[in-house]
Amino acid sequence: MTVLVAGLGISGAAAARVLLGRGDDVVLTDAAEPAVLAELVAAGARWLGPLTAPPEDVDLVVTSPGWRPDHPLLRAAADRGLEVIGEPELAWRLRVPGPDGGAPAPWYAVTGTNGKTTTVTMLESVLQAGGLRAVAAGNVGRPLVEVVTARDADGRAAYDAIAVELSSFQLHWSSSIAPAGACVLNVADDHVDWHGSFDAYRDAKAQLLRLAGVAVADAGNPVAASLVARHRHPVTVTLGEPEPGQLGVRAGALVDRAFSASPAGEVLVETDALQVRGPHNTVNALAAAALARVAGVDAAAIGAGLSRFRGGAHRNVLVGTVNGVDFVDDSKATNPHAAGASLAAYPRVVWIAGGLLKGADVDPLVAAVAPRLAGVVLLGRDREQLARSLARHAPSVPRTVVPSGDDGGVADVTDGDRVMREVVAAAVRLARPGDTVLLAPAAASMDVFTDYAHRGRAFADAVRALG
């Protein structure tokens, strides 16, 4: 079979390696790191440079999740009747059988506008606490195609269970993935620029549930809850007292009334034992627990796995306290829904916001959080949209705009680290003891910074420089 791999980032390069190892004829397009490209060509791949149509001998196209469906190459492939899939769909088709030729390792998959990575890494911790050889893969970092084809020293599948993070981009290019358990955490306005409409974005998320054994969602998110309500085995999670078929919170503890044999439910872990804070992280923990229950993990192991989980970088992390003011990095809050969840965790906030809003509407967010705001510092290309919303919904809140040289492309930006130092200095002037200076931008970072991690590091560096 001849496979065209379109896009040579981490997942594309991994797909090419696995396909070459199978003996497939692999054709490459798009730029790549020179060392990666040299490695793949040395292994037998053909690199053809930029393409606007697939070569005539191609049987299948594996595309990068960053490539939009209207890319000329992908449109040409569709016009020719070629199947176009993503790396996760390829991984699903190439799974290694389990012990003694049994079923491959089941997937426990998570999607949603926000909270995916936290929930998947929580789930990995819980599955491992339950004695399973488990790994987090997919959009969380490690390519699925590597994980599903990995073997241990005895030649068996290397993993018993896989905690899978999938983005809407990846799900758009998937058709046969059938996880044992699937969770749509939440669906809010995001990536409309890529999908073309909110309905198309929502439908991409819903794709994960189509063949899932059990479907999980946050009952507090109407869109996600409506998607699982149509499933044959729906489970929801709630921050309130759980009803039958739910996991929720009772008397300061996470309680399972969906999988427990007891009508009253079973206590999984005390909320005080969780090392990640905020209502949104409690929802993430409940969702991870629900998927772990699908995998057969008992309550004690769920409690152990959740209580030892410490969270990831740039996700509501306290980076310092200066003169009684806390500085919190939630650079991963790259859309209004995520920023709202972050802001809700603090009573009085100096909010650092702005970047690339990707077509999102910020009015509902600003109206909801206005009473918490002690001040706002704006940066990034779409800062004026935020400024107009603040003028409508929080006119009395002081705000500062920091020019960031972002009106051109990334190459025109002078110095993101310098910009962040100015942003933090402005936030200090607005804050008083007891406040939280919160970097929760509600926007993507690539107008000023390399990525959200660079933005978060620049924030932490600027805070440390305060002394």
Q: In a 10 Å sphere around its CB, with 0-12 CB exposed, 13-18 middle and 19+ buried, how is residue 49 labelled?
A: exposed
Q: Is 205 annotated as a binding residue?
A: no
Amino acid letter for position 202: R
Regarding beta strands 317-322 and 46-47, do their DSSP bridges make them parallel or antiparallel, or are they unpaired? unpaired
**In this structure, are residues 39 and 89 in contact, taking their beta carbons and an 8 Å threshold?**
no
Is there a contact between 62 and 170 (Cβ–Cβ < 8 Å)? no
Structure tokens at 207: 């794709």
Give the pLDDT score at 456. 96
* 236 is annotated as contributing to ligand binding: no
Helical pair 279-294 and 336-343, crossing angle rounded to 10 deg: 110
Q: Are 228 and 209 in contact (CB under 8 A)?
A: yes
Cα 124 to Cα 57, 163, 197: the distances in Å are 41, 6, 33
Rounded Cα gap, residues 112 and 291, in angstroms? 15
Q: Is 118 annotated as a binding residue?
A: yes
Within 10 Å of residue 52's Cβ, how many Cβ atoms?
10
The two structure tokens encoding residue 128: 């491992």
In the prediction, which pLDDT does 386 show? 96
Can you give the pLDDT of all 467 residues of the chain as single tens digits? 999 999 998 999 999 999 999 999 999 998 778 899 999 999 999 999 999 999 999 999 999 988 999 999 999 999 999 999 999 999 999 998 887 778 999 999 999 988 999 999 999 999 999 999 999 999 987 999 999 999 888 888 899 999 999 999 999 999 999 999 999 999 986 777 777 788 888 888 999 999 999 999 999 999 999 999 999 999 999 999 999 999 999 999 999 999 999 999 999 999 999 988 889 899 999 999 999 999 999 999 999 999 999 887 788 888 999 999 999 999 999 999 889 989 988 999 999 999 999 888 999 999 999 999 999 999 999 999 999 999 999 999 999 999 876 544 433 445 899 999 999 999 999 999 999 999 999 999 989 998 999 999 999 999 999 97
pLDDT of the residue at 198: 85
Q: Is 131 annotated as a binding residue?
A: no
- Residue 414: predicted pLDDT: 55
Helix axes 299-307, 116-129, angle to 10 degrees: 130
At residue 114, the 3 state secondary structure works out as: coil
* 113 labeled binding residue: yes
231 in Cβ contact with 212 (< 8 Å): yes
Residue type, 364: P
29 labeled binding residue = no
Residues 385, 363: contact at Cβ < 8 Å?
no
Q: Chain centroid to CA 333: how far?
A: 10
Number of neighbours of residue 400 by Cβ within 10 angstroms: 18
Residue with tokens 């990831």: 312
Domains and CATH numbers, the chain: 2-81 (3.40.50.720), 91-307 (3.40.1190.10), 317-464 (3.90.190.20)
| Pairing, β 83-86 against β 60-63 | parallel
Sign of CA dihedral 39, 40, 44, 50: negative
Q: Is 114 annotated as a binding residue?
A: yes
The pLDDT score that the predictor gives to residue 84 is 98
Residues 6 or more apart in contact with residue 374 via CB below 8 angstroms: 348, 349, 350, 397, 430, 431, 432, 435
Structure tokens at 327: 């500085």
Helix (H, G, I), strand (E, B) or coil at 36: helix
